[in-house]
Amino acid sequence: MNSEYRVLINGELCEAATKETMEVINPANGKVVGLAPKCTSLEIDRAAEAAWKAAPAWAEKAPTERAAIFFKMAELLRARRDEWAKLETMQYGGPIFKTYNFDMRFDAEHFEFMAGVGRAVTGKTLPVGPQAMSMTIRQPLGVVGLITPWNFPLVTAISKITPCLMMGNTAVVKPPSCAPLTVLKLGEIAVEAGIPPGVLNIVTGPGSTVGEALVKHPYIAKINFTGDSETGKRILALASAAVKPVACELGGKNAFIVLPDADMKATVEGAVWGGFFNSGQNCGASSRYLVHESVYDEFVEKFVAAAKLLRVGDPLNPETMIGPVAYKGHRDNIERFVARAKKSGAKLLLGGERPNTPETKDGYFVAPTIFGDCDPKSEIMQEEVFGPVAAATRFKTPEQAVEIANDSRFGLCASIWTKDIRQGLVMTKQLKVGTVWLNQHLSIVFECPWGGCKESGHSKENSIMVLDEYSMMKNVWIDLIGTPATPWQGKLG
Ligand code: NAD
């Protein structure tokens, strides 16, 4: 698998004009997995122009024609499930049980889901009186720039590409530099599936140069970005010069609220997956555990015992639940968070040390780590660590739990664990987040919209509603009485 990959521009797989490449490192062992083109603004210019030229013909295609290509894409993805799941695991460390069962399954299904719902887009008729008919229609935006993160490299890219293309837009995709390989492979099958030249373009390179060139390019009508909140702020600022819309899916610091009557077995299981799935590298990870004082000791004891059972090691082993984090700098950053939390007075209940086994010694691993008795205002309860690090605190009343949960600059999601659904729904309405799960954490599916508020961003992914992000609403007025004058426009002469 250690080979040179190509970007996709105007239907051709090519290298960077400079011939420069970026090494993609396997975080499990520090070895090179592949080389991705290190493009510059030159490739962004070429890709944006190709997408611009391809846009009118693609916009004119019937949704059924686009859907037919999407079904072909799904078929080609399924045929490569084993190979690509392995590549995904090797480029960013997500365990194979996850990349095979979750990522590769959702990658194919996403094309099929959008092929269906993209044919069901509707407009509205509006009550403007007897003199006219008025309606809304949905139209493509033109060329959309899609900038994606590394924590679900292919899933995130596909969840943007499918609604974008299905609504008749063309796209320039900028995948993350540390894990771009599966998205580059998608370029190969796009050609095979018959996506016309210029409709889908994929350009790799540093965010600070290639990403910014994409945001600023005059042919790009909109940016759809998923990533860090600070990057989102930078992109919003850059795009504002041209009043360019930016859809943002950003970071999270998500509360997992345990009420006294919670089913403890299910809650502990939910806590482990909410906090440690994908090594905690999830925007929706449950990284803040707010637990009622009457059940705090029991919850914490069982949570620690369950987290100890997670197998940490080689992510290509199907038994492994915790692989390495995505790259060395990220591991070092997580370790700095842990060191500061230790000094802050929080009680270390599990982990906190680098695992040191033959399987982990050459990679960038972080052991599942749990802190208890955390001050809700402390860094470990306020900042996104984006690793397998959980922080717990106690509360006395549901009102106090909501107050602590809402005391955050983020607003992505939260979960409430209780048998009292009425109490759960009262709290649901009070939580300032985009998704609330009752007795579940991290159920993110196509059918339901996903996205937050505050510094977690303001747009939606998934569901039929995502199609609004990739289209503009046009109002159409049709006169029925043969005179353009409306009563408030006055008279001529
Ligand atoms: P990141 O912001 O560092 O990078 C994301 C993408 O932006 C990459 O492709 C990068 O190259 C590009 N980029 C970086 N600087 C840029 C710039 N100045 N201009 C244009 N593009 C630029 O994020 P990451 O580390 O890859 O991903 C982790 C973050 O993503 C976490 O904060 C996580 O919470 C967030 N995330 C959010 C969601 C969500 O749905 N809300 C989903 C997944 C990840």
pLDDT at position 490: 73
126-to-129, 136, 296, 486 alpha-carbon distances in Å: 9, 8, 54, 16
Contact indicator for 54, 196 with CB cutoff of 8 Å: yes
Residue 77 and residue 192: Cα distance in Å, rounded? 11
Containing domain of residue 211, as a range?
3-250+457-476
pLDDT in tens, 446-456: 999 999 999 99
CA of 444 to the centre of ligand 1 (A): 19
- Extract the tokens encoding 19: 């011939």
Q: Is residue 262 part of a domain?
A: yes
Domain match, 347 and 230 both: no
Contact indicator for 167, 177 with CB cutoff of 8 Å: no
pLDDT at position 275: 98
Domain match, 234 and 263 both: no
pLDDT at position 302: 98
Domain match, 243 and 297 both: no
Domain match, 258 and 175 both: no
Domain match, 263 and 171 both: no
Q: What is the mean pLDDT of residues 299-319?
A: 98
Domain match, 331 and 434 both: yes
Q: What is the mean pLDDT of residues 395-411?
A: 98
Which of 151, 216, 327, 409 is the pocket-test mutation for ligand 1 (most atoms within 8 Å of CB)? 151
Show the ligand 1 pocket: residues with CB < 6 angstroms: 147-151, 156, 174-177, 207-208, 211-212, 215, 226-228, 231, 234-235, 249-252, 283, 384, 386, 412, 456-457
Report which residue type is found at 315.
P
Residue 374 and residue 390: Cα distance in Å, rounded? 10
CA of 233 to the centre of ligand 1 (A): 11
16: left (phi over 0), alpha (psi -120 to 50) or beta: beta
Which of 228, 288, 389 is the pocket-test mutation for ligand 1 (most atoms within 8 Å of CB)? 228
pLDDT at position 486: 66
Q: Is residue 399 part of a domain?
A: yes
Q: Domain with 7 in it: what CATH number?
A: 3.40.605.10
pTM: 0.97
pLDDT in tens, 410-435: 999 999 999 999 999 999 999 999 99
Question: Which residue has 């290639």 as its token pair?
Answer: 210
pLDDT at position 134: 97
Q: Is residue 449 part of a domain?
A: no
Q: Does 484 score more than 70 pLDDT? A: no
CA of 456 to the centre of ligand 1 (A): 12
Q: Does 1 score more than 60 pLDDT? A: no
| Structural domain count of the chain | 2
**Helices 181-193 and 63-79: crossing angle, nearest 10°?**
120
Q: Domain with 318 in it: what CATH number?
A: 3.40.309.10
List, in sequence order, every residue forming a beta bridge with 135; answer none if it has no partner. 125, 476
Domain match, 268 and 323 both: yes
Domain match, 229 and 289 both: no
Domain match, 197 and 281 both: no
Domain match, 232 and 315 both: no
pLDDT in tens, 330-372: 999 999 999 999 999 999 999 999 999 999 999 999 999 999 9
Domain match, 186 and 274 both: no
H helices of 171-295, in order, are: 181-193, 212-216, 229-240, 264-276
List, in sequence order, every residue forming a beta bridge with 134; answer none if it has no partner. 126, 477
- Say which DSSP state 180 is in: -
Q: Whose CA is nearest to atom 9 of ligand 1?
A: 176
pLDDT in tens, 134-159: 999 999 999 999 999 999 999 999 99
User: Of 115, 124, 6, 7, nearest to 71 (Cα)?
Assistant: 115
Of all atoms in ligand 1, which is nearest to the CA of residue 283? 34
Q: Does 487 score more than 70 pLDDT? A: no
Q: Does 2 score more than 60 pLDDT? A: no
Question: Which residue has 């072909």 as its token pair?
Answer: 72
Average pLDDT of the chain is 97
Q: Is residue 44 part of a domain?
A: yes
Residues acting as catalytic residues: 249, 283
Q: Whose CA is nearest to atom 43 of ligand 1?
A: 283
Residue 322 and residue 219: Cα distance in Å, rounded? 42
DSSP per position, 13-60: EE--TT--EEEEE-TTTS-EEEEEE---HHHHHHHHHHHHHHHHHHHH
Domain match, 175 and 154 both: yes
